[in-house]
Chains A and B, each alone.
Chain A
Amino acid sequence: MIHFRDISKTFGTGTGNEIRALHPLNLEIKDKEFVVLIGSNGSGKSTVMNLLSGALRPDQGQILVDGQDITTLPEHQRCKYLSRVFQNPLSGTAPELSIEENFRLATIRTQPKGFRIGNNDAFRKTVRERIASLNLGLESKLNQPMGSLSGGQRQALTLLMATMDDSKILLMDEPTAALDPATSKLILDIAEKMVQEMGLTAILITHQMKDVIRYGNRLIQLKEGKVIRDFPKIQKQEIQLNELINWFGD
């Protein structure tokens, strides 16, 4: 369970253009919830994500994961709890490393990176099988540098890499913003399948209203750093597309 307790975050404190990104936010996300987070630009969506991942520290309040206080835990130590898929499809993979090497690093996300060669035949076989499940024909290209693939292919692999080591929480900050509609659908379908199969808790930020309706089992809208709408699954299913767009005029 993820718990934001009285979290506040202000950018540019003391300067003329002070921005209160979150003031105070209280939010509980239960295990295996797939939360779709929406809101206008500047509503604090990404701040929520960055606070959880450790890229930002809150000014006040606590962040708990499974009852453990992770508020001051540095970014690289939070990987024990969560994996991330970035908005930029190129951010989640190292271009000069091969596909196989990228997967090796993802597989030992929560473990120390020691002095042993881990990508052996058995490992290669597992990776090949996992990649084959994407049906993108990439399983024969394990030795190619990641940089030789397209943004969509890299984002699909990033998603898969996010689940190579046991993770409980998957954070996706507009993972399809830079992709065409067909690829976007492919990526989010993969995400949904993985969230269900592996019983993950997931947060998805998106501006695509169709995706808001299609994916997830809880819908949260932020405005000026506060939760203004919060719908569980049943209510979420009844929401209509045109209704959704009107929310942004509020």
Chain B
Amino acid sequence: MADLYLSAVLLGLGFASLSIGIFISMRIFNIPDITTDGSFTLGGAVTAVMLSNGYNAWLSLPIVFLIGACAGSLTGLIHTRLKVNALLSGILVMTALYSVNLAIMGRSNIPLVNIPSIYNSIQLVSDNLIQELIILSFIVLILWIKISWLLKTDFGLAMRATGNNEVMIRALGVNTKNMKTIGLALANGFTALSGYLITQIQGYADINMGIGIVILGLGSVMIGEIVLKLFHIHSIPIHLLAVIGGSILFRIILAFALSIGIDALYLKLVVSVFVLLIVSIPNLKRTE
């Protein structure tokens, strides 16, 4: 039983990177980015192929990130340069990625049995789950520190203003087309990184692992924001922390749903209904 919840925390940490990606595209840039479903699988596919071909797991990390960022910048370019609606741009790239991912993997599933991963590269403790927990926490901590810092720099302020008031930031000398493209690249880099972490947790990459994954990120961001609203917090590092916490909480709630006997077949339905609840409850309370 304890293991069930520990595994949920591990998945939550693994998906935290995805939630941060969604936070960047949706909250910072105000763009609903569906590329996520494809770039998550892309991250998993590249990871599985690299690891099973004997590449070092840590070395693969920046490569996976960069490839995810390429997918995101493609969506960004289609949206800003070809002036295609953001949602449609994402759908186009996501659809194309399905074929790309299949081509990369060569088949629909790659198991990673007895292959060195980041979780067993250095043996810190004997318990495997605790070992994974330490390494995932370390990676998520670095992510949190780096992105908190980025969003406070002049560049980060310009990023945030681009999603917040485009007219103003253009008058202040920012090329918002480039900025949005960079933002989507970052977001999908983090999403691919999430695919990388999850693939190594579950021990395989699957062509369908990304289906509906965008809702997980959305749900995590929103759970975090409900907490923030209660305390009236405006700080960016705490906001990010809430997103990470939301991702973990989301997984724990799913684990709970499974433990009380909900059929795994209905899991996506449960996720949808759950996200609907967290999105709509704050609106119902408002009397307008």
Contact = CB atoms under 8 A, between A and B. Distances in A.
In which size bucket is the chain B interface?
20 to 34
Contact of B234 (A84, A91, A145): A145
Contacts of A115: 150, 153-155
Interface string B164-181: 110111111111100000
A98 B164 CA distance: 12
A79 B169 contact: no
A199 interface: no
A3 B210 CA distance: 57
Chain A interface extent, by class:
35 or more
A76 B173 contact: yes
A98 B168 CA distance: 14
B160 A96 contact: yes
Contacts of A84: 171
B26 interface: no
Given A96-B160, A109-B172, A110-B173, A116 B165 contact: no
B155 A114 contact: yes
B165 A93 contact: yes
A143 B168 CA distance: 19
A94 B164 contact: yes
B152 interface: yes
Main secondary structure of the interface of A (DSSP, over half): loop
A118 B168 CA distance: 19
B66 interface: no
A106 B172 contact: yes
Interface string A1-40: 0000000000000000000000000000000000000000
B154 A97 contact: no
Interface in A70-114: 74-77, 79-80, 83-84, 86, 91-98, 101-102, 104-106, 108-111, 113-114
B165 A75 contact: no
B161 interface: yes
A79 B173 contact: yes
A53 B165 CA distance: 17
A220 to B, nearest CB: 23
A118 B167 contact: no
Given A76-B175, A94-B169, 18 more contacts: A74-B175, A77-B173, A79-B173, A86-B167, A92-B171, A94-B160, A94-B161, A95-B164, A97-B157, A97-B160, A101-B157, A105-B154, A105-B172, A110-B173, A115-B153, A116-B153, A116-B154, A143-B234
